[in-house]
Structure 1
Amino acid sequence: MKGKRFFSYEWDAIAGVLAAVAAIVLHLLHIVDEHVIMPIVLVLMALLFINFMRHERNNERTAGQVEQIQRMAAKIKSSLTIPDVVLIGPRQLREANEQFARNMSGEVILFNVCLSMYRTQMLFDMLLRPAIENSQVTSIHFVLDENQKELWQTEVLQKITACNDGSKVREPRWCNLNKNLSFILADTQPEGATEALLSFWGEPFMAQSTEQNVPRYIFHVQAHSELLPHFVELERNCRMRG
């Protein structure tokens, strides 16, 4: 280790500095005159130029290697396919919901969600309250099946009213929805691109009991997915029919 460090020193530069110091000292002591100093100066300049050229070649070699690595990284990146939809399981469900709610902005649409999820205060606080109290969200619109009107009046509306900014939740659009899918559609920060959380009624995607249905698996639909325009069109058609 010490031997490698010893040979790694810039000995030509060190020798040049020592020679310059020795020449200056001898000149100050009037041992040598300027006719001797001049060749020493020229030799030092040559050494410095050689040292510069060697480092220049090393820099060019390093730049070439960096450029090659960048090209390889670009090829690898271009070969990777970004998924349109990401499956989220039970262990990540709460974190994914909270993060999605924090990143929401503008108008939020909840289409055909199962209101029995919000019966308990704990699930309401985990699944819906973060969206309501998100200051970047301007309005929340529910598009719901008509058979959920009683649940809305008895289980959900009072909890919404008790929230800060509960007034941003609009009266639901009641429709005849004979569908087993539901989604939350919203613009997300910081890019402002539209994304969605998609879920399906029934097993195995939703855990069902006599009192409530709770999502077990959901799908995070990414901003570049071709599913998003279909969701927008589906919600618009249901509103118009409603």
Structure 2
Amino acid sequence: MRPKSLLKLEWDAIAGIIAAIVAIVLHFLHIAQADLLLPILLALIGLLFINFLRHSKNNEITAETIEKIHKQIDLVQNSLKESDIELIGPRKLRSENDRFLKEISGDVVFYNICLKMYSAEAMFNGLLRPVFDNPGVSSVCFILDVGQQANWERTITSRLSGHPRRGILREPKWCSLAASLSFIMAEQSESKCVEALLSFWGEPFMTNQTGIDTPRYIFRLKKHNELLPHLESLIQNQRLQSN
């Protein structure tokens, strides 16, 4: 046994128990009288009581220490606020986009999205079709620059003609939009709060391959982000102008 382990033993209690056992054995051997047992037993009880009090005090100190630690942890947790914006790079772009589209519900708005991005069948099936496959989505609205009208029928409506949920697609809002930002905005089905996937036109946020602008980096704006009301205002203004 290691010296440190020996120091942790309750030697006072052990000594008292050994003394009591020895006294009892001596009594049964008729070596010690019965009146000798009473003081030994009383001493043993006293030692055990003192040991109990010491442990009770230690338990109180331990409980107070644990309570202080819990309070400190609560203070740290309260001071750490969840970030309301997340930068998503090329490695996680597809998976995060899929997750976002599966978690949304209600009305979905695509603002200033490059329609040529969906020209390839694989891109359309991976980036847009999941919105229409999502049973929680009730409507899909595109707010687009008038310069993309020529691509609307070929890229979007023709591919959705046989989809059972084709009816949730609203007529697009054609506006004169500056090619600066684009986003997808919708309510999250679990939190019932609006979130958005935001990207900016041009390098380094978008890459242009064979004349098609596709996102390279996007921002996920989570609930209560200060940019969300501004994006909602952009949507309302463009809807009013297109009517």
Give the TM-score range, shorter chain: 0.7 to 0.9
Contact 1:129 1:163 in 2 (8 A): no
Q: Which residue of structure 2 aligns with residue 69 of structure 1?
A: 69
Give percent identity, aligned residues only: 44
SS of residue paired to 1:220: strand
2: CA distance between counterparts of 1:190 and 1:22? 71
1: CA distance between counterparts of 2:199 and 2:162? 27
Q: Which residue of structure 2 aligns with residue 187 of structure 1?
A: 187
2: CA distance between counterparts of 1:107 and 1:17? 78
Q: Which residue of structure 2 aligns with residue 212 of structure 1?
A: 212
**Which is further off, 110-119 or 201-210?**
201-210
Q: Which residue of structure 1 aligns with residue 168 of structure 2?
A: 168
2: CA distance between counterparts of 1:153 and 1:91? 31
How many residues are paired up? 241
- Could you give the per-residue CA deviations for residues 78-104 of structure 1, whole angstroms, max 9, x where no partner exists? 555654432222122112212212221
Q: Which residue of structure 2 aligns with residue 148 of structure 1?
A: 148
2: CA distance between counterparts of 1:161 and 1:18? 92
- Listed as ranges, the gaps of 5+ residues in structure 1 are none
2: CA distance between counterparts of 1:55 and 1:146? 80
Q: Which has the larger radius of gyration?
A: 2
1: CA distance between counterparts of 2:17 and 2:132? 72
2: CA distance between counterparts of 1:18 and 1:190? 66
Distance 1:49 1:142, change over 3 A: farther
Contact 1:180 1:201 in 2 (8 A): yes
CA root-mean-square deviation = 3.3
Q: Which residue of structure 1 aligns with residue 52 of structure 2?
A: 52
> What TM-score does the superposition give when structure 1 sets the normalisation length?
0.79
Code of the residue aligned with 1:172 in structure 2: it is P
Contact 1:161 1:167 in 2 (8 A): no
**Which is further off, 136-145 or 4-13?**
4-13
Q: Which residue of structure 2 aligns with residue 104 of structure 1?
A: 104
2: CA distance between counterparts of 1:208 and 1:149? 20
- Listed as ranges, the gaps of 5+ residues in structure 2 are none
What are the residue-to-residue correspondences of 1:1-242 with 2, within 5 Å?
2-11=2-11, 42-77=42-77, 80=80, 82-163=82-163, 165-242=165-242
2: CA distance between counterparts of 1:158 and 1:13? 88
- Could you give the per-residue CA deviations for residues 145-167 of structure 1, whole angstroms, max 9, x where no partner exists? 23323322101223334556443
2: CA distance between counterparts of 1:15 and 1:167? 87
